Amino acid sequence: MKCKNCEKSFEGSYCNHCGQKSEIRRIDAKYLLHEIPNSVFQLDRGFLFTVKELFLRPGHSIRAFLQGKRKPHYKPFAYLIITFTLYALAAYFMARNTYIDDLLFGFKGRMMESGEAVNTPILDWISAHQVYVTLLILPFFSLASYLAFIRSSYNYFEHLVLNLYITGQQMIIYLILGFIFFQDNVLTGVPILIGFFYNFWVYYQFFHHKRPMAKVGLIALTYLTFVIGVLLITVVAGNLAHLLAQ
């Protein structure tokens, strides 16, 4: 059989030179209805498989990905982009704030109550570019988790993949819970709290070789390191801005 893509001879269902299927069907409506969603989400395996695994056995699934079982999984960076987009679209159509909008609203309120000036342009930029803000935060949080679990066998970039998957799945959690708490302003913080516990659960399962109390302590250390780092960066940035304004 001659491959219609690379024009080399082969036998079987796939070309052993370029990987194209031997059976090439004509493009029609049925083809497009199947191909478009599978091209974007890999619905037959990748995206839905990853959603399922990150709900049922997240720590074990991410560990398997890092150890080489990567073909069934949706790629971590793409997974976060897709899930964040779905969550943002759902929030838009439900006329709801995203979790970042809620945090910014609370921050503005506290600043105004204390009589401090609020830098609205920066906060507006954060609100308008939430996916970029999330991607900027993740490297710092991954550095915190890497330092906290530095005696583990995972390097910094593997921690980054771990946190990309966690954050992507948190977007799915926020999307689902957004429908549940659609009309309840009192419980708007519940999805964020559940997202935090999900992060805790994944870390607890992922670092399976450590003792339970050690894992709890190191997870707490991760958050503490991240918060201290953010505070230091905020103080340094504020001082630099003050010096430049003089």
What are the sequence ranges of the domains in the chain?
1-37, 42-245
What pLDDT digit, counting tens, does each position of 138-183 carry?
Answer: 999 999 999 999 998 899 999 999 999 999 999 999 888 877 765 5
Pick from 170, 119, 120: nearest CA to 141: 170
- Rounded to whole angstroms, how far apart are CA atoms 96 and 184? 11
User: What is the separation, in whole angstroms, between the first and last Cα of the chain?
Assistant: 75
What pLDDT digit, counting tens, does each position of 192-240 carry?
Answer: 788 899 999 999 999 988 888 999 999 999 999 999 988 888 777 667 7
What pLDDT digit, counting tens, does each position of 39-94 carry?
Answer: 555 555 688 899 999 999 999 999 999 998 888 888 899 899 889 888 888 877 76
**What is the model's pLDDT at position 232?**
87
What pLDDT digit, counting tens, does each position of 96-109 carry?
Answer: 666 655 554 554 55
- Rounded to whole angstroms, how far apart are CA atoms 148 and 141? 11
**What is the model's pLDDT at position 100?**
57
Per-residue 3-state assignment (H helix, E strand, C coil) for 85-110 = HHHHHHHHHCCCCCHHHHHHHHHHHH
Q: Which residue is associated with the tokens 């302003």?
A: 185
**What is the model's pLDDT at position 25?**
67
In DSSP terms, 14 is beta-bridged to 21
Q: Exposed, middle or buried, 142 (CB in 10 Å: 0-12/13-18/19+)?
A: buried
- Contact of 161 with 62, CB cutoff 8 Å: yes
